[in-house]
Amino acid sequence: MPTLERFQQQTSDALLDSATACPEAVSGDKRERRFDVYRNNRAVSLIENLQALYPAVARLVGQEFFTAAARAYIDAHPPTGPVMAEFGEAFGDFIAALSGAKSIPYIRDVARIEWCRNAAYNASDAPVLSLEALASVPPDTLPELRLDPHPALHTVTSRWPSGSIWAATQRPAGTDAPAVDMRTGEQIAITRPAWDADVHILTQQSAQFLHALTQGSTIGDAAASQLDLDPAFDAGPHLVHVLSLGAFTAIAQTLTADPTATPQVSP
Amino acid sequence: MPVTTPPITRLPQRAGVCFKHQHYDGIVQDQPDVGWFEVHAENYLGAGGKPFQMLSWIRERYALSIHGVGLSIGSHNGLDANHLARVAALVERFEPHSFSEHLAWSTHDNRFYSDLLPVPYNRETEDTVCAHINQVQDTLKRPMLLENPSNYLSLNTSTLSEAELLNNIVRRTGCGLLLDVNNVYISARNIGYSAEDYIRSLPTDRIGEMHLAGHLVDDADPADPLLIDTHDRAVCDDVWALYAFALETCGATPTLIEWDSNLPEWAELAADMQRAESLLNPSETVRCANA
């Protein structure tokens, strides 16, 4: 094996497993201490990235536990490329599976909110579909319209009040946490109408209506699905609400309804 | 037929600073006199959003250097073509005044190690690095600058000195060098050689940029103190002195203050930048300190 390949393989092995000796080509009598600089640089750099990505998780689990979890994560799920905005998506699942996190079952969904904020922050630029633009179409054609989701739109469905818990982590240190009813689940939408990602807690009906629209249902079909569940459902205010969040970018170009498409409503 | 060599850098002969998002609002408000800004390519490879909006604002008003930290030029198994294509698209979009990367590797078998890892200094590395630099320069359609690493160890598979290797690479590829003065200081102390001799043995007419940064002295083992390239504090006096020597040896060169972690207020960063500017362009700076 050529020297460069052998050295890079041995370096990789020694970086991912601290029990593996440093590469045989390293000279000197303090070779492990010298090589430790690279082990440490790698860990510090990747843990700092996770810390910047998941500040709410860090606040909820405490710094010591967070750092230990991050240190384990970077060995179990090392990054596959050099773009740090794309590293760490599985951290929520990873930390939620640790025995030390069993008492905070909502941690996975709070992490999901933080990952979606990161994804929304870096999503492609697109205009936000305004209520005015929708109001300018003839009212009788409105039920036939489909809407294109904004590229920054993400949704999280949680059995826990994860949106409220995330919001509570945003308060200044030293202030009291607001009361949160831990028995209620929440539907969360993340949007980026301008440059910064916003987190919104939706009602169940708004979330289901939004979900149907993002799956390609016409406005009429999305409303009909909700009417089946609640005869008093009025689509107007829900449509105004999700548009005001910046959930959509445009009216879909194809106005012809697809007869094979069925509205998909989350349970 | 004479061959026109493209200039290795279009950066102004001034001091610049790394652009950090924490400083953006203040920069927009005050529009400070800064020679140029440098950013890491890998922080601007998303699909869109605020990072591009901020970088566009900077690029419209200041000269810009894009500094890659993830191309892994020293990888034995080739460059990641997808990553190179993304960097090329960024370079095409922002048309920076300089593009630079490192004599190092960071990726192996689809694992990114988030550090600038060492290469042995020998013919095999020279051939590998030259092929990769040619590929980068062909893809970006411009010459690049190659940065000297900070060294913490020596490899017994090295048969050349670092300066010999850099001379050979510059001659074979036409690339320029990014002389990181802090890295020279760190390497010279950690490995045990003369920083001044090292600088003197480089192709000094091919240095297109210099870097200055702060480092940590790790004396956990008093018998073997190690200097660590942390970029988390002000430039130390010894590195300022070596910078003055480098300017004397290589001539005036665009110079960056790097500060990547434990970020200071803008004023502290600007103070280091102004100190570099006063050494780089002494005749244009009020020399009250020496009066």
pLDDT digits (tens, 9 = 90+) for A69-120: 999 999 999 999 999 999 999 999 999 999 999 999 999 999 999 999 999 9
Query: Best mutation site among B153, B158, B190, B193 for testing chain A: the one with the most A CBs within 10 Å?
Result: B153
pLDDT digits (tens, 9 = 90+) for A36-68: 999 999 999 999 999 999 999 999 999 999 999
What's the whole-model pTM score?
Answer: 0.93
**Tokens standing for residue A202:** 């939706």
Domain that holds residue B240: 15-290
In whole numbers, what is the pLDDT of chain A averaged over residues?
Answer: 93
Residue A193: phi, psi to the nearest 5? -65, -30
Distance CA(A238)–CA(B88), nearest Å, equals 44
Q: Is residue B75 part of a domain?
A: yes
Inter-chain residue contact B48 with A37, CB threshold 8 Å = no
Inter-chain residue contact B47 with A124, CB threshold 8 Å = yes
In this structure, what DSSP letter does residue B7 have?
P
In angstroms, how far is CA B51 from the centroid of its own chain? 21
Q: Are B267 and B222 in contact (CB under 8 A)?
A: no
Q: In A, which residues are within 8 Å of B152 by CB distance?
A: 34-35, 37-38
Residue given tokens 């660590």 in the structure block:
B228
Whole-number pLDDT of residue B290: 38
Whole-number pLDDT of residue A18: 87
Q: Is residue B3 part of a domain?
A: no
CATH number of the domain within which B233 lies: 3.20.20.150
Distance CA(A217)–CA(A235), nearest Å, equals 14
Encode chain A in three state secondary structure. CCHHHHHHHHHHHHHHCCCCCCCCCECCCCHHHHHHHHHHHHHHHHHHHHHHHCHHHHHHHCHHHHHHHHHHHHHHCCCCCCCHHHCCCCHHHHHHCCHHHCCCCCHHHHHHHHHHHHHHHCCCCCCCCCHHHHHCCCHHHHHHCCEEECCCCEEEEECCCHHHHHHHCCCCCCCCCCCCCCCCCEEEEEECCCCCCEEEEECHHHHHHHHHHHCCCCHHHHHHHHHHHCCCCCHHHHHHHHHHHCCEEEECCCCCCCCCCCCCCCC
Q: Is residue B2 part of a domain?
A: no
DSSP H helices in B221-289: 237-250, 266-280
Q: In A, which residues are within 8 Å of B106 by CB distance?
A: 82
How many domains, in total, are found in chain B?
1
Q: Are A244 and A142 in contact (CB under 8 A)?
A: no
Q: Are A108 and A93 in contact (CB under 8 A)?
A: yes
Q: Are B234 and B248 in contact (CB under 8 A)?
A: no
Q: Is residue B248 part of a domain?
A: yes
In this structure, what DSSP letter does residue B185 have?
H
Whole-number pLDDT of residue B224: 87
Q: Is residue B197 part of a domain?
A: yes
Q: What is the largest CA-CA distance in chain A?
A: 82
**Tokens standing for residue B82:** 């997808």
User: In 3D, which of B9, B25, B5 has the Cα closest to residue B255?
Assistant: B9
Residue given tokens 């990547």 in the structure block:
B260
In this complex, the residue of A9, A46, A84 whose CB is nearest that of residue B42 is A84
Asked if A247 has any chain B CB less than 8 Å from its own CB, the reply is no
Q: In A, which residues are within 8 Å of B52 by CB distance?
A: 125
Distance CA(A154)–CA(A159), nearest Å, equals 17
Q: Is residue B228 part of a domain?
A: yes
Interacting residues of B222 by C-beta distance below 8 A, sequence separation 6+: none
In angstroms, how far is CA A152 from the centroid of its own chain? 11
Q: Is residue B10 part of a domain?
A: no
Asked if A141 has any chain B CB less than 8 Å from its own CB, the reply is no
pLDDT band at A1 (very low <50, low <70, confident <90, very high): low
Whole-number pLDDT of residue A265: 43
Task: Give pLDDT < 70 ranges for chain B.
Answer: 1-5, 285-291
Query: Best mutation site among B113, B116, B187 for testing chain A: the one with the most A CBs within 10 Å?
Result: B113
Chain B residue with minimal CA distance to A46?
Answer: B114
Distances (CA, A) of A205 to A153, A164, A210, A226, B85: 18, 18, 8, 7, 44
7-26 in A: which are within 8 Å (CB) of B? 7-9, 11-12, 15-16, 23, 25-26
Q: In A, which residues are within 8 Å of B157 by CB distance?
A: 3, 7, 25
Q: What is the largest CA-CA distance in chain B?
A: 60
The number of CA neighbours under 13 Å toward the Cβ of B8 is 22
pLDDT band at A3 (very low <50, low <70, confident <90, very high): confident
47-106 in B: which are within 8 Å (CB) of A? 47-53, 69-72, 74-77, 80, 83, 86, 105-106
Q: Is residue B6 part of a domain?
A: no
Whole-number pLDDT of residue B19: 98
| Coil, helix or strand at residue B15 | strand
